[in-house]
Structure 1
Amino acid sequence: MTKPPKASAPAKPSLFKTLEIDTRLLGMIGAFVVICLVFNIITDGRFLTARNLFNLSIQTVSVAIMATGMVFVIVTRHIDLSVGALLATCSAVMGVMQVQMLPGILGLGSPLIAPLAILGGLLAGALIGAFNGWLIGYQRIPAFIVTLGGLLVWRNVGWYMTDGQTLGPLDQNFLLLGGVEGTIGATGSWILGVLFSLAAIWAIWRARAAKIQHEFPVKPLWAEGALMAISVGAIMGFVAILNSYEVPIGRLKREFEARGEVLPEGYSEVYGLPISVLILIFVAIAMTVLARRTRLGRYIFATGGNPDAAELSGINTRMLTVKIFALMGFLCGLSAMVAQARLANHTNDIGTLDELRVIAAAVIGGTALAGGIGTIYGAILGAIIMQSLQSGMAMVGVDAPFQNIVVGALLVLAVWIDIQYRKRTGEKV
């Protein structure tokens, strides 16, 4: 009598599955580390200096802010090709208000100039974005056509607003939002680093408690502790790097001379966290909460997953489209504020090719062009990778046309890798 075959033991879950590690995120972090190490070797150690990492962070902010909005646009199966042109229009609005309009009304140097100019730029962006969303959602014009038209229209609207001229000088309070002119110093940076570290620990622990409450499987305690340690190490390490970048002596001398003082012997200051980077951090937190914790976020991802089912379930997908593009326009205005303040003037070529960089950042960060899938942190990491490549190539001496060739090729490669990944994991392509 033959014995029945023994039942095979269930397959032991892999370490990645046990720890719930996002392999796509791990791959992006690995790519970023490789890029940094390669360029650091090629540039004889100049790439990973505090000065370059400081500049890299403030140069990333503008594209990263818009990339967070592009996630929602692509998740709902749309595209926005007009973000660079819309940024230029918002920048023109803020430039005209600061240089030509408000000083004559409020007086030169009035503290109201900067906030009113910012409000005007944000409002212009939100209204133009809402108009794009109305054309797409209610008039059923494809987003590709609407925003392709916007790519041509809005940049030239900005050109006519300024008569093709560069606008400056900008309000001194406004310049604080650009990066170099506005930082919070060493002490403020350490305090914020500690607060953000505590917030990261609390968020990880709260997520674990929520899973236990709903009887979902959780990671081992040592894995949670390791994740907390990595998060705190990354935050405090970033703060330490920025706090090691000292203000040049020449600039300190000029600042002391402007106050009628003499620079003390041996005196030094560090930059610390730029205000523009703090703006990006708060945008990232707000957009993540919007995506994961609000009804609007659930509607966005439900519509991207299956638009017909979402509409049949009672979601007003037309108004949802208006809201998404209005949000995208608002973020373009915010990016215009940061970019203009960093450049210290408004130029008519501001934001040129940003539509390529923003879409590439979102796609490299794992946002599926088929809709329904995307993360805010992935888009920001994608923007950092893009800027690292461009900054590294600029330091090596690669000219701008070839840099754009590399960025375009990287976008195609990222989509191809995304398709292959989804085929292997069984996700929709």
Structure 2
Amino acid sequence: MADASASGASTGRKNILKTLEFDTRLLGMVGAFILVCIVFNILTDGRFLTPRNVFNLTIQTVSVAIMATGMVFVIVTRQIDLSVGSLLATCSAIMAMTQTQILPSMGIDYGSGLIAPVAIIVGLVSGGLIGAFHGWLVGYLTIPAFIVTLGGLLVWRNVAWYLTNGQTIGPLDDNFQLLGGIGGTMGETGSWIFGAIAVVAAAYAIWQARRARIAHEFPVKPIWAEFVLMALSAALILGFIATLNAYDVPSRVLARSFEARGEVMPEGFTQGYGIPFSVLLLIAVAVIMTLVARRTRLGRYIFATGGNPDAAELSGINTRMLTVKVFAIMGVLCALAGLVASARLSFHSNDIGTLDELRVIAAAVIGGTALAGGIGTIYGAILGALIMQSLQSGMAMVGVDAPFQNIVVGGVLVLAVLIDIIYRKRTGDA
């Protein structure tokens, strides 16, 4: 009787998951992330899941997560990019030199409202052009992507060094630094407003997806299952915002801001940081990349080419130009990541982006992107980046030295690929 009861409970859970149409792989990643958080929270006596550490973990994840979304497209098309960390460094150096030397030499004073926008545009264009150049070498000259980007890893890291003469460049423009994390946040009220909008948008997206399935006469979930998904989405969004709002701005920082306005800070006044602007940038990138992957011809061509390159070319897809576009997107995202990374530090340093190649590829693979091509998700890559950063942050808090942290990260990457192979064999996707 006990076995029958246990079997019935297991079957019930499977039926619920099937009804809700949860991705079992995604659930596995979420479960792994929760396990990592619980273990490190115990090992650090509750310090790992404090609002302060969650806030820091979030802003530390952004730059790698942004690049991981682009790496999904690269790997899906059966390519690889080993140069992303070095390209980040070059774009960061270009943006830093633009705002500290080039624009001031042209008569645009430091502190001008033009400094940050112009520097960002120059960085994005540079990243896109370099990425497109990589894609041209791969797509039109048929040089293997491994070789092209391995060369890029060496070339662009040292180009960044020569651009700055090996010096640290800073401080960067104040407006530029707003996209770094702690220096630019929405505050409590703005974060709650954003959260409300996000909850409505998530519910609308779920409902529209249901209507689309009905319109195409596809099977749909029961109404209660749709509302459960809406409730889970709302709980995750609002819970995340509540955690960030719970991290209070230090009283001395608040006092200085009141003094700057010629006011006196009220006794007992507190204020939370809220959502960092860099996280908003990551959310925007995630939404745009997801729409590109699911709703555009470019996205369909990317996944079709990854699934079967020969069939894609025979069907009329210009796979060479597609390769150029994919690497150009990767270059732009490296520039965005360089913007966030240097803005968070408030200066450009020579070691910025070091080993990000490992972290970005690992994030994409851990997030479910198949190295064989054709399969991958944007949200999976972002979750993979969060898992990677959680591991590194947790190990640092416990006192694990840097070499062993890299050993663990390397081991996790190999394990993730092994799990991916086993999963696809069992599900018939191999």
Settle same-fold status: TM greater than 0.5: yes
Unaligned runs of 5+ in 2: 1-10
Whether the 8 Å contact between 2:99 and 2:110 is mirrored in structure 1 is no
**How many angstroms apart in 1 are the aligned matches of 2:182 and 2:16?**
43
User: In the alignment, which residue of structure 1 is the partner of 2:7?
Assistant: none
Structure-1 residue corresponding to 2:6: none
2 CA distance for matches of 1:254 and 1:349?
32
Q: Tell me how far apart the structure 1 counterparts of residues 16 and 78 of structure 2 sit (CA, whole Å).
A: 34
User: Partner letter of residue 50 of structure 1?
Assistant: P
Matching of residue 327 in structure 1 with residue 322 in structure 2 = no
SS in 2 for 1:177: helix
Show the counterpart of 1:36.
37
- Give the equivalent residue in structure 1 for 2:138: 136
Identity of aligned residues (%): 74
- How far 1:212 moved relative to its partner? 1.1
Which one of 166, 169, 177 corresponds to residue 168 of structure 2? Answer: 166
Q: Within 2, Cα distance between the matches of 1:192 and 1:258?
A: 28
Shift, 1:103, TM fit: 2.2
What's the CA shift for 1:352? 0.2
Offset from partner CA, 1:15-47 (integer Å, 9 cap, x none): 433332100000000001111111111111111
Deviates more, 1:92-101 or 1:75-84: 92-101
Looking at structure 1, the residues matched to 16 and 268 of structure 2 have their Cα atoms a distance apart, in angstroms, of 52
The amino acid that maps onto 1:40 is N
Distance 1:299 1:108 in 2: 44
Write the distance in 1 (CA, Å) between the matches of 2:33 and 2:288. Answer: 25
1:244 to 238, 242, 246: 246
The answer on whether the counterparts of 1:89 and 1:154 sit within 8 Å (CA) in structure 2 is yes
Hey, what's the Cα distance between the residues in 1 that align with 2:418 and 2:48? 29
Cα distance between partner residues in 1 of 2:256 and 2:394 = 31
Cross-structure match for 2:204: 202
Residue of structure 2 in register with 1:402 after alignment? 404
Counterpart CA distance in 2 for 1:262 and 1:19 is: 53
- Higher mean displacement: 141-150 or 203-212: 203-212
1:333-344 aligned within 5 A: 333-344=335-346
Superposition pairs for residues 7-406 of structure 1, below 5 Å?
Answer: 14-105=15-106, 106-406=108-408
Letter in 2 for 1:199: A
Q: Distance in 2 between matches of 1:331 and 1:103?
A: 27
2:165 partner letter: D
* Mapped partners of 1:97, 1:107: distance in 2: 12
Q: Structure 1: which 5+ residue stretches go unaligned?
A: 1-10
List per-residue Cα deviations over 1:324-358 (Å, max 9, x = no partner): 00000000000000000001100010000000000
CA-atom RMSD, angstroms?
A: 1.3
How many residues are matched? 418
- Cα displacement (A) at 1:73: 0.2
Does the residue aligned with 1:355 lie in a helix, a strand or coil?
Answer: helix
The answer to whether the 8 Å contact 2:19/2:225 transfers is no
SS in 2 for 1:92: helix
Q: How far off is 1:79 after superposition?
A: 0.2
Question: SS at 1:176's partner residue?
Answer: helix
Aligned partners of 2:173 and 2:263: how far apart in 1? Answer: 24
Shift of 1:48: 0.6
Per-residue CA distance 1:134-156 (angstroms, 9 max, x = gap): 00000000000000000000000
Larger displacement relative to structure 2 (351-360 or 221-230): 221-230
| Displacement of 1:260 | 4.2
Q: Give the structure-2-normalised TM-score.
A: 0.95
How far the C-alpha of 1:258 sits from its partner, in A, is: 3.7
Find the aligned partners of 1:251 and 1:336 in 2 and give their Cα distance: 27
2:100–2:110 Cα contact (<8 Å) kept: no
Conserved in 2, the CA contact under 8 Å of 1:103 and 1:109?
Answer: no
8 Å CA contact 1:103, 1:110 repeated in 2: no
Q: Which amino acid aligns with 1:52?
A: N
Does the 8 Å contact 1:242/1:271 carry over to 2? Answer: yes
